[in-house]
Structure 1
Amino acid sequence: MANLLLAIPIAILAVLVSNKLIQRLRFKFPPGPRPWPVVGNLYDIKPVRFRCFAEWARSYGPIISVWFGPTLNVIVSTADLAKEVLKENDQQLAGRFRTRAAARFSRDGKDLIWADYGPHYVKVRKLCTLELFTPKRLEAMRPIREDEVMAMVESIYKDCVSSSEENLGKTLVVRKYLEAVAFNNITRLVFGKRFMNNEGEVNEQGQEFKGIVSNGIKLGASLTIAEYIPWLRLFAPLDEEAIAKHGARRDRLTKIIMDERTEARKSGGAKQHFVDALLTLQEKYDLSEDTIIGLLWDMITAGMDTTAISVEWAMAELIRNPRVQQKAQEELDRVIGFDRVMNETDFSSLPYLQCVAKEALRLHPPTPLMLPHQANTNVKLGGYDIPKGSIVHVNVWAVARDPTVWKDPLEFRPERFHEEDVDMKGHDYRLLPFGAGRRVCPGAQLGINLVTSMLGHLLHHFSWTPPEGMKPEDIDLTESPGMVTYMKNPVQAVATPRLPSHLNKRAAINA
């Protein structure tokens, strides 16, 4: 019996090795680091993957093979190759690789983010483009965004100025304020609810919401190498019970809110937040309840972290570069002045502020490897063979720092976008913070508006300097590992008010 148990994994290993050898004889794969038997390159990959892949690209070339167990992962690191992936071979590479947890959370791709490319994806994508993220709807929701950004300003002002002089010059953890505005903004846009009051206290439903978000991140982060080596799943099974409990908890809260909004619409008191829009359009687009819930949580996961991350990186760069901060403030003072606050209608008159936001997203894209594409047929990239089922990543972090297409690519210099207009919504493959092609982020304009608004208010209302005893260049720009890229050490700074006190307060909330 013992011999039989030993023979089974040996036989499986032999089949895998022989299949890999056959593949290598049949296909011309991109170069890359030499893989180990069974595990491939999994143990060679450094925690901050996009930096690791960029380092390997310098050794092996702009398109490389990296083996996650028996699965070929192809990473491209130039704008030309990104164009091949996202435009010339877009349909063939529009599939989506899902981990076991992502498959469970998305009900096997019933949402948009994790859906396979096909009729369901096309239908839901059309819904997002024609109904949810239209200029008219984004404009209708502008008061929510502006209210929450002003709530952030008011909170910072209260913390950095008080009747006690000893609080002047207090060091603030910037992330605290950015996460609060991102949290309140996304819950109001998606659910039409504000879970947090003016003092930062979260109500009972909000605590449940936060718990669901935190637990989802925890479950997703607990995955092992068995995700990439299928036969190891016999020894590392997915915690189905925990996944099921998490899904039920998420669905229960979402259905309660959906029922509340349905009742509000019946009484004529509902506004067109995303949940209202989806429920109104359910019949027209033949949407299942699973799809509605999946779309709502797609918006939450895509919009909550990435906005706060992007603005924190931008603030870190502005504190490190006082010249840029001062130039942006001079533009704000000239256009807005000192007797009113900025709003989104001012963006067109603030070109340098827009360049600051764009430069921050160039240097620090919130999802530096994008989400993984999967080949749904054999395809050629850069002259190499990419077999069906392979996973393809675009290292947008490396693309945006390529010295062959960017002058002084590591310098934070927003002026580069005055010198050349570069689109960042998927039409110029040198700058891809929101992706491109069939799987480009449908909420790109919403993200750009919120990042620009938050930066504009932070710079107009306050001057930002490093904590006492720290030089601007000492601000740490180290990244944390993960699919989205937080700063490893949250940026800390001293905020000094620039505007009259009455302009640092907001009007009453109108959810």
Structure 2
Amino acid sequence: MSVPEMGPFGVVVTGIVAIAIVYKLVQRWRFKLPPGPRPWPVVGNLLQIEPVRFRCFWDWSKKYGPIMSVWFGSTLNVVVSNTELAKEVLKEHDQQLADRPRSRSAEKFSRNGQDLIWADYGPHYVKVRKVCTLELFSPKRLEALRPIREDEVAAMVESIFNDCGKQEGIGKPLVVKRYLSGVAFNNITRPAFGKRFVNEEGKMDPQGVEFKEIVATGLKLGASLTMAEHIPYLRWMFPLEEGAFAKHGARRDNVTKAIMEEHTLARQTSGAKQHFVDALLTLQEKYDLSEDTIIGLLWDMITAGMDTTAITVEWAMAELVRNPRIQQKAQEEIDRVVGRDRVMNETDFPHLPYLQCITKEALRLHPPTPLMLPHKATQNVKIGGYDIPKGSNVHVNVWAIARDPAVWKDPVTFRPERFLEEDVDIKGHDYRLLPFGAGRRICPGAQLGINLVQSMLGHLLHHFVWAPPEGMQAEDIDLTENPGLVTFMAKPVQAIAIPRLPDHLYKRQPLN
């Protein structure tokens, strides 16, 4: 039987596959790579990875060890899953691993890394990081914005009370996420833009709808390129939709510039406010910030903070409903410090150590970004005795590290008391617990995130007792995660809220 001749297309494809295979073999001969699952030709391990990626990597680490090679197409990705290796990545070799791998969509969204999240490590990143640390998230500015945070949490409490405090709402289970999403969204957009897009009834104004749609469109555009990002020689099958990206970018810029212009006009009459947009416009000349960088920074705040706060609080509430002992202990502490005749505020936090422990335990057991955004090797480095070639991506599985029985007692148990027994830093200094990352790429808004989570949790516990819906046992609450970059609950938690304070303390007092 004669072998059919290949056409030009077949020859090209065969040649590309052959080159890819040879390239991989050369890498394996030249470098001592970490062990890992056997990759398939062309696609690598992509088809073997389970949807909830961080759990899949955790399972694989039990077989291959705490440092693994995982091939996304032709790109080597190294995943580390214990404290010692995380310290090597984020401290000892931090400078060589400080870049971010940018996909084609990230290139477009960040204007080639002109923001903070996707910027390469270098003079631009150092400058923008300095703006965030010294200007945007300074203790002075966070304190100045505290009334906004407390106002939004008060609005959330009033909304819950309106739904459960009346006769028709008593005993009716509430979808907790519904109340958290609005306050989390406003708690990012108000400090950033001075705009309250969601009203007391949870309805969004047109500009808020536009914001949400822009975020959703960006996610959709990015997802449409996923397979092609990992297999460069298949990109001709998944072309970059230049028109769609241009339209999305213009839409984002238009709504942001309109707000920037509003603030510029307002400053001419009433002076600068503490909102982030005012700070950036005021500092634009001092730090030589381009318009692309200002817009990029504002959208970094939206995308990084919009979901993560709500996610953390929802997981914490699910655990508190499952653990009434912990809930009661927290309420007893709040009653001792705050009492039942006033509303708590952020100045109470230092006197509420158990509430702080609940926040830490929620961030440990359910980190909102379980796999840190990847780091990119700018030169060959060694991690855990293995070679990490230049151009490889390195992921830190913070979810797995926080469940490592070698460093945590009863790691899968929600037990806030562990942080009373030992003080563990959560802002990048203790590599057992890394919800905000560490090193040069640590989240600059960590303290803002902690304040928001503690405030939301504290008010929810102070104002209400939370119980499972009638007929459901606490242990039946589903604690599985949705696939994705952030860990939404697969099934939003429902609970019955029972008011525990005088009625007048549920009324929001609008800011002057």
- Answer yes or no: same fold by TM over 0.5: yes
Point out the more displaced range, 247-256 or 261-270: 261-270
Secondary structure at 2:496's aligned position in 1? Answer: strand
* Unaligned stretches of 5+ residues in structure 1: none
Is contact 2:96–2:378 with CA below 8 Å preserved after alignment?
yes
1:272 is displaced (CA, Å) by 1.6
Q: State how 1:318-467 maps to structure 2 within 5 Å.
A: 318-467=320-469
Secondary structure at 1:345's aligned position in 2? Answer: helix
Residue equivalent to 1:234 = 236
Residue equivalent to 1:276 = 278
1:35 is displaced (CA, Å) by 0.5
Matched, 1:35 2:2: no
CA distance in 2, matches of 1:475, 1:44: 29
1:199 is displaced (CA, Å) by 2.1
- Deviations 1:181-239, CA, capped at 9 Å, x for gaps: 01111110100111222222222222212221221222223233111010100111122
Candidates 198, 201, 204, aligned match of 2:203? 201
Normalised by the size of structure 1, how large is the TM-score?
0.98
Secondary structure at 2:286's aligned position in 1? Answer: coil
Secondary structure at 1:284's aligned position in 2? Answer: helix
Matched, 1:62 2:78: no
CA distance in 2, matches of 1:396, 1:201: 35
1:270 is displaced (CA, Å) by 4.2
Residue equivalent to 1:130 = 134
- Deviations 1:438-466, CA, capped at 9 Å, x for gaps: 00000000000000000000000000000
Matched, 1:77 2:85: no
Secondary structure at 2:419's aligned position in 1? Answer: helix
Residue equivalent to 2:262 = 260
Candidates 11, 15, 18, aligned match of 1:7? 11
Residue equivalent to 1:121 = 125
After the TM superposition, which parts of structure 1 deviate over 4 Å for at least 4 consecutive aligned residues?
none
1:390 is displaced (CA, Å) by 0.3
Secondary structure at 2:94's aligned position in 1? Answer: coil
Normalised by the size of structure 2, how large is the TM-score?
0.98
1:310 is displaced (CA, Å) by 0.4
Is contact 2:428–2:437 with CA below 8 Å preserved after alignment?
yes
CA distance in 1, matches of 2:493, 2:390: 43
Residue equivalent to 2:487 = 485
What is the CA RMSD across the aligned residues, in angstroms? 1.0
Secondary structure at 2:306's aligned position in 1? Answer: helix
Candidates 153, 171, 178, aligned match of 2:157? 153
CA distance in 2, matches of 1:245, 1:418: 51
- Deviations 1:293-348, CA, capped at 9 Å, x for gaps: 00000001111100000000000000011110010000001111110011000001
Residue equivalent to 2:472 = 470
Code of the residue aligned with 1:80 in structure 2: it is E
Q: 1:373 to 1:30 in 2, by over 3 A?
A: same
CA distance in 2, matches of 1:154, 1:269: 32
1:432 is displaced (CA, Å) by 0.1
Point out the more displaced range, 233-242 or 138-147: 233-242
Residue equivalent to 2:247 = 245
- Deviations 1:132-191, CA, capped at 9 Å, x for gaps: 1110000000000000000000000000011xx332111100000000101111110100
Is contact 2:225–2:238 with CA below 8 Å preserved after alignment?
no
CA distance in 1, matches of 2:6, 2:189: 56
Code of the residue aligned with 2:10 in structure 1: it is L
Code of the residue aligned with 1:275 in structure 2: it is V
Is contact 2:482–2:488 with CA below 8 Å preserved after alignment?
yes
Secondary structure at 1:283's aligned position in 2? Answer: helix
Secondary structure at 1:95's aligned position in 2? Answer: coil
Is contact 2:194–2:275 with CA below 8 Å preserved after alignment?
yes
CA distance in 2, matches of 1:266, 1:199: 33
Secondary structure at 1:43's aligned position in 2? Answer: helix
Residue equivalent to 1:109 = 113
1:103 is displaced (CA, Å) by 1.0
CA distance in 2, matches of 1:505, 1:402: 44
Secondary structure at 2:133's aligned position in 1? Answer: helix
Q: How many residues align?
A: 508
CA distance in 2, matches of 1:5, 1:349: 70
- Deviations 1:342-372, CA, capped at 9 Å, x for gaps: 1000001000000000000000000000101
Is contact 2:177–2:493 with CA below 8 Å preserved after alignment?
yes
Code of the residue aligned with 2:470 in structure 1: it is E
* Unaligned stretches of 5+ residues in structure 2: none
CA distance in 1, matches of 2:425, 2:253: 38
Residue equivalent to 2:101 = 97
Point out the more displaced range, 3-12 or 311-320: 3-12
Code of the residue aligned with 1:431 in structure 2: it is L
CA distance in 2, matches of 1:260, 1:346: 35
- Deviations 1:488-509, CA, capped at 9 Å, x for gaps: 1000000000100100111114
1:7 is displaced (CA, Å) by 0.7
Candidates 168, 174, 185, aligned match of 1:183? 185
CA distance in 2, matches of 1:269, 1:127: 20
Candidates 133, 148, 151, aligned match of 1:144? 148
Residue equivalent to 1:45 = 49
CA distance in 1, matches of 2:135, 2:114: 18
1:78 is displaced (CA, Å) by 0.3
CA distance in 1, matches of 2:384, 2:336: 49
CA distance in 2, matches of 1:56, 1:201: 44
Secondary structure at 1:117's aligned position in 2? Answer: coil
Secondary structure at 1:493's aligned position in 2? Answer: strand
CA distance in 1, matches of 2:219, 2:331: 37
CA distance in 2, matches of 1:312, 1:191: 25
